[in-house]
Amino acid sequence: MEVFKEIFPLQSYLQEHRKSGKSIGLVPTMGALHKGHLSLINEAIAEADVVVCSVFVNPTQFNNAADLDKYPRTLEDDLKLLEAAGCSAVFCPSVDEMYATLPVVKFDFGNLEKVMEGSFRPGHFNGVGIVVSKLFNIVNPDFAYFGQKDLQQYVIIAQMVSDLSFSVKLRRVPVFREASGLAMSSRNRRLSDAAKEQATSLYKALQLCKEYLHNGTDLDKLKRDAWKVMEENGVQVEYLEIVEPATLEPIENISAHKSVAICIAAYIEGVRLIDNEIIKLDF
């Protein structure tokens, strides 16, 4: 496995592979890797000839300086995991390498960034758009792999790819969960064992929503009871939204849709967690 900290050596490496007709897969991450990230690597290995994983804690997507400071950084362990997984190359640049000057370009994703995460994290998706577009330009991948746990991020990146005519094909990989149902996240390592147990209530709330949808329960009761499941476990719920998976538009009439996404954000021990489930309604 090759490790690159600078852009041009990485591009030279990839150019040689591209000359021989090999396809390139990109897995963008912020490090502190876990099995969920490795599921993205595995998907990439199954499809692409050369797999590049980026490890970069992107400062432009944090609207909370304390959150940026606390974000776990475990590069040495990350490299061991990636090598064992069969990753071809890792790109782990410094902030100065990625941002020689502060970007002045601003992304406006319209209504896509005004709901859910966008409502509570102003500027976040502008930072995501900037760093992902930079990675696409640096790596020029044939495929790029993103986790469904960050569903809103995936939808926004898909819009960016369409609007800016990036040639990359996006792949959305299902949420990877612990045995308890807790969605794997780098932030989980900041939780105590007791808090991890509390956090399983997010998954329980999602499963309740799924049950209610299949039973035809009205949406107001669905939201109220799912919210209660989390609050009774000491979870501070930020939002629970029922949206159309491709557009993130709020859903009021279930019968008009073939699938819905239940999206949750909540705080436990001051750590912000998100989760979601896409539920098919073909029943």
Catalytic residues: 37
Angle between helices 124-139 and 7-19 (to 10 degrees): 50
- Max Cα separation, the chain? 58
End-to-end CA distance of the chain: 47
Q: What is the DSSP letter of 252?
A: S
Name 37's Cβ contacts closer than 8 Å, sequence gap at least 6.
Answer: 27, 29, 53, 81, 147
Give the tokens for residue 230: 């989390």
Alpha helices in 140-218 (DSSP H): 151-164, 193-215
Task: Read off φ and ψ for residue 204, nearest 5 degrees.
Answer: -60, -35
